[in-house]
Amino acid sequence: EVQLVESGGNLVKPGGSLRLSCAVSGFTFSNAYLSWVRQAPGKGLEWVGRIKSESDGGAADYAAPVKGRFIISRDYSKDTLYLQMNSLKTEDTAIYYCTTENTMMGLSSDYWGQGTLVTVSS
Amino acid sequence: SYVLTQPPSVSVAPGKTATITCGGNNIGSKSVHWYQQKPGQAPVLVIYYNSDRPSGIPERFSGSTSGNTATLTITKVEAGDEADYYCQVWGSSSLNWVFGGGTKLTV
């Protein structure tokens, strides 16, 4: 059974930093494309970024609002995805979901974690 | 950047057919994915590659694309289908996934 479990969400002041984790199980971690999607309170879904599989080079792409502030990485020894968030702004307040992108299904997000809440406020 | 436009809300009576649209420039040339999100839950993929259903998704859910519009159709709508629905495409020129603003389906 595929499972994604996010953690690390918290209350942080503007300008601060936070690192989210997503522990994955039930599939071959190194073969997976993984992404972060966020949802501000009462708003729609917003893609944050993704990291490619190891065999496809493992590079990361980012949405414009977070580029230069957020870094996506993965630890192959721990089967864990990370989102390092720096220079946080109030508009980064959201539930953050990690997802798998299925290469056989057009890179659609076929599995999602339960989400972790990040609140940026003074 | 690529923009996807969805109606904010759609209402349908139980047993009838719901149609949710997603507008985008030449979206018919792209692969469109659709997600269902119920209150307090993570999204669930219901359609990928415009019209394919993941395992476990009822045949009542179908998708299509043409020109500047992608459409999610739900036949014989049930109370349990009440949710927010989002379309998604890859904005190839900007190298990012784009979501529509979401449509709240009320049954």
Which pLDDT does position A104 carry in this prediction? 86
With 80 as the cut, is the pLDDT of residue A120 above it?
yes
Which pLDDT does position A106 carry in this prediction? 87
**Of B36, B37, B53, B97, which to mutate for an interface test with A (greatest number of A Cβ within 10 Å)?**
B97
Which pLDDT does position B28 carry in this prediction? 93
Most confident of A21-30, A101-110, B74-83: B74-83
Q: Are A35 and A109 in contact (CB under 8 A)?
A: yes
With 90 as the cut, is the pLDDT of residue A103 above it?
no
Give the model's confidence band at B37: pLDDT under 50 very low, under 70 low, under 90 confident, else very high. Answer: very high
Q: Would you tell me which residues 41-100 of chain B have a C-beta closer than 8 angstroms to some C-beta of chain A? A: 42-45, 48-49, 52, 54, 84, 86, 88, 90, 94-100
Q: Are strands B18-23 and B69-74 parallel, antiparallel or unpaired?
A: antiparallel
Burial of A83 from C-beta contacts in 10 A (0-12 / 13-18 / 19+) = buried
What single string gives the DSSP state of each residue in A10-53? -EE-TT--EEEEEEEESS-GGG-EEEEEEE-TT--EEEEEEE--
Which pLDDT does position A105 carry in this prediction? 87
Q: Are A84 and B18 in contact (CB under 8 A)?
A: no
Give residue-wise pLDDT tens across range A14-59.
999 999 999 999 988 989 999 999 999 999 999 999 999 999 999 9
Give residue-wise pLDDT tens across range B57-66.
999 999 999 9
The alpha carbon of residue B53 is apart from the nearest alpha carbon of chain A, in Å, by 10
The share of chain B scoring above pLDDT 70, in percent, equals: 98
Q: Would you tell me which residues 6-35 of chain B have a C-beta closer than 8 angstroms to some C-beta of chain A? A: 31, 33, 35
CA angle (B74, B57, B102) in 5-degree steps:
55
Residue B39 token pair: 């209150």
Task: Tell me the helices (H) and strands (E) count for chain B, helix number first.
Answer: 0, 9
Nearest C-alpha neighbor of A31 from the set A112, A120, A106, A100: A100
Distance CA B75, CA A86 (A): 45
